[in-house]
Amino acid sequence: MTRTDNDQDIPRLWQLAFGAMPAQVINAAVSLGVPDALAEGPRTSAQVARATGAHEASMRRLLRGMAGLGIVEAQAGDRYALTPMGRPLRSDVPDSLRGMVLLFAGDAMWRSWGDLAETVRTGRNAFERVHGLAYFDYFAERPEEYAVFNSAMGEDTRVAGRALADGYDFSPYKTVVDVGGGNGALLTCLLQAHPGLRGIVFDRPEGVAQAPQALARAGLSDRCDVVAGNAFEGVTAGGDLYVLKSVLHDWDDEHVLTILRNCRAAVPDHGRLLVMEPLMPERAEDLGPAHGIVTTDMDLLVTTGGRVRSEGEFAALFEAAGFRLTGAHRLGDHEYLDAAYHSVVEGAPA
């Protein structure tokens, strides 16, 4: 039998090729509420099955699968306990990743990724072809799934927002407008870290639906307004710093220019624009270990038709929209996201 130069190549390839299976074990566990059922301590498979309304014998097999992944620990007497790695799958912990699992391993995204080959063959994103609707239109018609989407984005933002709060100088600004700000997770991080700031969450009506309650829970209702609108039609005035986190990479250049031009109409001459997204290196050979950037780019290929851009591409788009690029830098390491993932690209009115 032919062997590779590195004895780890085949096990690694095996792990990658069959990675769908562990992902769906985790998705099933979260969908059924297994981590929440184990929140108070070890339980038998029969107890977990009753708590989740599941078939007992099948639940026992799922728990064994979770144990194989290190998410739960199998104990004597058919009992299972949640491990530290499995803890973020609970819905009631501050560092929960439940929404991310339900979104990215859920049916809508899963079916789209299954059509990746056709997307590469045709250049048409799989999500729209599979579901018959563009990505955001699909979620807009499904409030429960949009709530999962907002939760997932909030989980990512909770981590990255703290890195932005620590890694950018907000002292010159009075009011931050978060364009596409969803449930207000980013502004919550920024306003908590900088008591002198005010904020405005701006997003589509379905996008900001959860924002008033989320801001109230954070005690920020008096420092942050919620404005519903469409960034393709116009962006609310009233800020001196406008932030776009994980927004532009969802769209092609034509749509990006529309958003940027609408931002330019709202940003005062002394104001600034911040784009917070991964930055694609100018050359493929410079990617190094930036696996998260590549994965995000592939996900955008499949779902929205957008892409991860380089600093040079942002500079060109900024110039066409009436901004000049004044800086780009990576944020520091932030929890499970390393510094190679989120970058801040700053623009000033030209």
Q: Which residues are catalytic?
A: 249
- Hunting for tokens 């144990």 — which residue is that? 67
Decide: 80 and 38 in contact? Cβ < 8 Å. yes
Residue whose C-alpha is closest to residue 230's, from 184, 263, 269: 263
For 67, the 3-state DSSP assignment is helix
**Using an 8 Å Cβ cutoff, are 86 and 66 in contact?**
yes
How many helices (H) and strands (E) in the chain?
Answer: 16, 10
Q: Which residues pair with 79 in a beta bridge?
A: 44, 75
Of 325, 291, 326, 297, nearest to 309 by C-alpha is 297
Long-range pairs of 316-321 with CB within 8 A, sequence gap ≥ 24 = 317/253, 317/256, 317/257, 317/260, 318/260, 318/273, 318/347, 319/350, 320/257, 320/260, 321/257, 321/260, 321/261, 321/263, 321/264
Helix (H) or strand (E) run with residue 44 in it: strand 43-44
Dig out the tokens for 176 from the structure.
């931050």
Cα gap 214→55, rounded to integer Å: 36
Q: Give SS3 for 347.
A: strand
**What dihedral angle (degrees, nearest 10) is formed by the CA atoms of 133, 134, 135, 141?**
-50
CA distance 47 to 61: 14
Nearest CA to 195 among 226, 168, 174?
A: 174
